[in-house]
Amino acid sequence: MDFKELIAYQKAFELAMKIFEVSKSFPKEEKYSLTDQIRRSSRSTCANLAEAYRKRIYPKHFISKLTDSDGENSETVVWLDFALECKYLNREIHDSLYSECLEIGKLLNYMMNNPNKFGSSKDF
């Protein structure tokens, strides 16, 4: 199986693309701050998940990279909150994107708690 087949990866990638689209409307003065940060963290969620999957034969490395992915996902939530408070996003869009972050977090936590279901050794 390829990492691109993981539901968590697919959902994280889809979210990153939604954030890319919505962040196009952020003010130009946010280009090198909020816009850049939210795009980077949402993309890093996917990238860290891909790296984790390639390290799945090493359980501790697998889980460590998954926690990095989860951390980036949580960072994305913070940037979404800033975008809402700065009025760059309306409540409906924020809540929808936030819900997707929560779902991705649950999937990542499932993977961390069940590494053996993803090709990682049970015994470590």
Mean per-residue pLDDT of the chain = 95
Among 18-22, 55-59, 92-96, name the one with the lowest average pLDDT. 55-59
CATH number for the domain spanning 51: value is 1.20.1440.60
- Residues 28-87 pLDDT 10s: 999 989 999 999 999 999 999 999 999 999 999 999 999 999 999 999 999 999 999 999
Is residue 120 in a domain? no
Reported as a pLDDT band with limits 50, 70 and 90, residue 122 is low
- Total structural domains in the chain? 1
Helices 7-23, 59-85: crossing angle, 10 deg rounding: 30
Using the predicted structure, report yes or no on whether residue 12 has a pLDDT greater than 90: yes
Look up the domain containing 93 and give its range.
Answer: 3-115
Is residue 123 in a domain? no
Q: What is the mean pLDDT of residues 79-103?
A: 98
One-character DSSP codes across 40-66: HHHHHHHHHHHHHHHTTTSHHHHHHHH
Is residue 90 in a domain? yes
Region of 95 (left: φ > 0; alpha: ψ -120 to 50; beta: rest) is: alpha
Tokens 């909150």 found at: 81
pLDDT-above-70 percentage for the chain: 97
